Structure 1
């Protein structure tokens, strides 16, 4: 009897009454969101700045709704100076192999530091273990548009990345800069044109090196004053007196990974086993092994990498896609099959380079069709038709140092044009790919060595959806060790070219995406964000595309002539959400545009006064988003 009573009493203490259940606080969280787009800018004031006056409708799990205003916040300009190792250095200034600012001596007796006007990729890292929730941001500085004299500096000057320490307001989430420092690439022989990038699932930054220098042309120019690849200029700036001894195109065209340690210090490594081509970015899949790449330029390829181990890019297998067209509607569609190129470790490929391998060590060449030689056309060698034969025993070197050329000899499709950003929709197992300009090799070209892609010309571009599948095999029937193999692709967001410019100078429909470049997907918002790199829109935009409702909304406008870059949706950073977004080269190429709606000269003058035409760019973010991790009742 006493035992039964004790159990009854214990149970009454463990099981709450109905009244206590009803009184318990209810965690009300975000159920869904919908963006309400902003109008395109119409005045000089609007056209000359980065801003957002879009809104977001938030529906909560208790059925209540709220409309929140969005705004753009600048963190810093690439011309802003910060204390770096005791010196005030502009954020966008590259450093040489000794860590010193690289100087621009293009104007006699007036040396100034180079300052990139092209901030690009951002990775807003998750708070580091043991770092008390502190946030860090890795940012690219893609190139220098012009030097101090006004001449083109593109590709000649080594590039750079910064690591920014951020302070986060615990109540509002607003970010401010605590410090900026340059990331050292001396251990990788410098950094070549870093374009877009991504945050890995294991919280490291994966960078890029696009428009890889052509080793065939470089070899032809050895011993001459020619430098059409820019490798000589790059090496002289970066290595100084040892420049010509260290000039080698094979060091560039890979994925740099930046690891930020809990103490806030960064280390950069390059992954040579990911292959060498015009890397726009590398996007990892949820298995932390499979990756896809943007391959920017003309006559490029879709490539896939499968690492041997999760969260380790030091060795893996590289594949190239064969496009099998299935339709032309909505931009186009096709099935994908995969050709295995080879397996390698970083150390194996790095050894080829340090041993001094050259293009002619890898390939035999012919100037005309010849038995045993493959006729190919790729981004390399200025998109000229080449007749190549891999030398015996050089298959691995060809696969990882001349990836596109080698893949083309095996029959992979080398006709993609301006393949830019990539994003991942985890829940639906879809990836998204931006084709910024659907033309050239992607059109019908019966005289090219291959004509796999025969799609309609859409200069303003198409964003494609890739269907990711498990249990896939390569062309030879061997299993691909990944559950995220792209099996097909179809257009989902299509630009609209216009026959003539409108009053604002737009040659693509202003209410549709033109020349998609950066892509970032928010799983929490079910939204694909798209940043433009367009000469067809006078002002470039960031768009939000709801993948369920198909609603497209303009959420940010950047200064006229600028490109929207650095796009990254960060769903949760200490309970706050952000859309990172930069812009680069403001005012670029406005002189040649037909603009009648506003005073074009006044517009250029305003941009130059407020920012600097081709002189600076902003690193910033869109704020005003709800929290997707904190309950509503916690946000009083």
Structure 2
């Protein structure tokens, strides 16, 4: 583990006025100045907070993208013990900390507790690894992504206690993982029943799956971002992102067509 004199801890502060009515108010250190923001989570250094998705039952799915991988792996997870659709008028503040034990503990929360569902490189029971990007032409693993982004939970029963959690992996080429999870009332945690990386070869792979949304009929919609403003740059070997097209060429086994990318995928 590397020693860091001043660890750069990424913290997330949610505007509770958006989530709660009336607004939650926390006092500053001197007890006089009201604030409308409360720190509820802290992430490992270099991590990007991604995949924030609250389902109909108030489960809050949230990921840690590309943390310092010498100490912590990219993570798909969920905050248990709270209905995020029915928050109280105030919630506790998570104290800031730069201690090494807190920094590398993982994802800390002030309310509820964070459960790691899977991390990049974990082995699926059905074969393959979480975040693995597999070539369309020969099925070999090209690399393991450290960039879990958008989450979408699709329930498989009426009470939403079992379902598929889809996660976009923001790379070039991109990936989509599917975890089958079920709520265990005894352990009060989610059980991962199975999972896989989806085969995207039928659409010639994906390009930088970032955030997304749910359709009116409750299916995930994933967006391909950072697409080219001018498609002639796609074939320009001097263009700054040309190496990404080369990665897609390795994935496909032939040079990619620019008109196959830049869409919303369902």
| TM-score (normalizing by structure 2) | 0.60
The answer to whether the 8 A contact 1:127-1:134 is kept is yes
Match of 1:125 in 2: 154
Match of 2:164 in 1: 136
Identify which of 211, 215, 220 aligns with 2:226: 211
Q: Secondary structure at the match of 2:176?
A: strand
Match of 1:560 in 2: none
Relative to structure 1, is the Cα distance of residues 74 and 99 closer, same or farther in structure 2, using a 3 angstrom cutoff? farther
Match of 1:102 in 2: 141
Larger radius of gyration: 1
* Residue 76 (structure 1) aligned with residue 118 (structure 2): yes
Deviations 1:450-508 (A, max 9, x none): xxxxxxxxxxxxxxxxxxxxxxxxxxxxxxxxxxxxxxxxxxxxxxxxxxxxxxxxxxx
Distance, in Å, in 2 between the alignment partners of 1:252 and 1:192 is 6
Deviations 1:234-267 (A, max 9, x none): 3322211xx12xx22222111111xxxxxxxxxx
Identify which of 258, 262, 266 aligns with 1:249: 258
* Residue 233 (structure 1) aligned with residue 233 (structure 2): no
- Once the two structures are superposed, the pairs formed by residues 150-189 of structure 1 within 5 Å of their partners are 155=172, 158-171=173-186, 173-189=188-204
The answer to whether the 8 A contact 1:164-1:179 is kept is yes
Relative to structure 1, is the Cα distance of residues 122 and 31 closer, same or farther in structure 2, using a 3 angstrom cutoff? closer
Instruction: Give the Å deviation of 1:125.
Output: 1.4
Distance, in Å, in 1 between the alignment partners of 2:138 and 2:148 is 20
Identify which of 34, 37, 44 aligns with 2:100: 44
Relative to structure 1, is the Cα distance of residues 49 and 142 closer, same or farther in structure 2, using a 3 angstrom cutoff? farther
Distance, in Å, in 2 between the alignment partners of 1:31 and 1:117 is 32
Instruction: Give the Å deviation of 1:226.
Output: 6.7
The answer to whether the 8 A contact 1:218-1:227 is kept is no
Relative to structure 1, is the Cα distance of residues 48 and 251 closer, same or farther in structure 2, using a 3 angstrom cutoff? same
Instruction: Give the Å deviation of 1:99.
Output: 7.2
Deviations 1:337-363 (A, max 9, x none): xxxxxxxxxxxxxxxxxxxxxxxxxxx
The answer to whether the 8 A contact 2:169-2:209 is kept is yes
Instruction: Give the Å deviation of 1:175.
Output: 0.4
Distance, in Å, in 2 between the alignment partners of 1:237 and 1:188 is 15
The answer to whether the 8 A contact 1:135-1:166 is kept is yes
Q: Secondary structure at the match of 1:198?
A: strand
Q: Secondary structure at the match of 1:187?
A: helix
Relative to structure 1, is the Cα distance of residues 167 and 133 closer, same or farther in structure 2, using a 3 angstrom cutoff? closer
Indicate the structure with greater helix content: 1
The answer to whether the 8 A contact 1:135-1:168 is kept is no
| TM-score (normalizing by structure 1) | 0.26
Distance, in Å, in 2 between the alignment partners of 1:99 and 1:127 is 33
Relative to structure 1, is the Cα distance of residues 126 and 227 closer, same or farther in structure 2, using a 3 angstrom cutoff? same
Match of 2:25 in 1: none
The answer to whether the 8 A contact 1:159-1:192 is kept is yes
The answer to whether the 8 A contact 2:233-2:239 is kept is no
Distance, in Å, in 2 between the alignment partners of 1:186 and 1:80 is 22
Q: Secondary structure at the match of 1:125?
A: strand
Moved over 3 A (4+): 224-232
Identify which of 64, 77, 93 aligns with 2:132: 93
Match of 2:73 in 1: none
The answer to whether the 8 A contact 1:82-1:180 is kept is yes
The answer to whether the 8 A contact 1:212-1:249 is kept is no
Distance, in Å, in 1 between the alignment partners of 2:152 and 2:264 is 15
Distance, in Å, in 2 between the alignment partners of 1:254 and 1:194 is 10
- Once the two structures are superposed, the pairs formed by residues 300-311 of structure 1 within 5 Å of their partners are none
Distance, in Å, in 2 between the alignment partners of 1:251 and 1:128 is 35
Instruction: Give the Å deviation of 1:101.
Output: 3.4
Distance, in Å, in 2 between the alignment partners of 1:31 and 1:256 is 31
The answer to whether the 8 A contact 2:147-2:169 is kept is yes
